[in-house]
């Protein structure tokens, strides 16, 4: 029997309310927009590395749950904690490099998330962003971020 291994199919713990599940799922979805924008970012070259922890930790945590070494609650709390790390990277980047890339990403991700929830095609959302990134190129890389 093959077991699904995506975060969307990871079960929640007994007694977890539908409202709590929805909050987790909403946060996960928003973070996916932020992670993609981070990888497309052209200011701080550390962005793709910041989101790597959550991607790698999710696989490890899912394996631990399947082997019975971690509870479903532990998975969701651990994964959520790993998703918060890039926000600290963003705050650090904003404070020490005096750039506004992070607040811009927060706002853009929120807008895209809300549009997607309202049924706008993911292609209609991402094609302009990718084209914009291609047009901008690497003009705004902040080497001082390192």
> In 3-state terms, what secondary structure has residue 54?
helix
Q: How confident is the model at residue 4 (pLDDT cuts 50, 70, 90)?
A: low
Show Cβ contacts of residue 64 under 8 Å, excluding neighbours closer than 6 positions. 70, 74, 75
Q: Does residue 37 contact residue 129 with C-beta atoms inside 8 Å?
A: yes
- Judge whether residue 54 has pLDDT over 70: yes
113-129 pLDDT, tens digit each: 999 999 999 999 999 99
What local confidence, expressed as pLDDT, does residue 141 receive? 65
What local confidence, expressed as pLDDT, does residue 97 receive? 78
Which two tokens mark 54? Answer: 């959550």
Q: Does residue 10 contact residue 72 with C-beta atoms inside 8 Å?
A: yes
């Amino acid at each position: 029997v093959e077991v699904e291994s995506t975060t969307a199919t990871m079960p929640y713990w007994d007694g977890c309310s539908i409202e709590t599940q929805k909050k987790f799922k909403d946060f996960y979805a928003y973070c996916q927009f932020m992670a993609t924008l981070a990888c497309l970012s052209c200011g701080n070259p550390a962005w793709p590395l910041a989101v790597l922890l959550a991607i790698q930790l999710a696989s490890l945590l899912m394996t631990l749950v399947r082997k019975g070494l971690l509870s479903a609650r532990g998975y969701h709390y651990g994964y959520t904690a790993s998703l918060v790390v890039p926000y600290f990277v963003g705050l650090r980047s904003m404070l020490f490099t005096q750039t506004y890339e992070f607040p811009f990403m927060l706002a853009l991700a929120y807008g895209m998330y809300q549009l997607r929830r309202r049924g706008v095609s993911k292609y209609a959302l991402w094609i302009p962003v990718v084209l914009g990134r291609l047009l901008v190129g690497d003009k705004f890389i902040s080497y001082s971020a390192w």
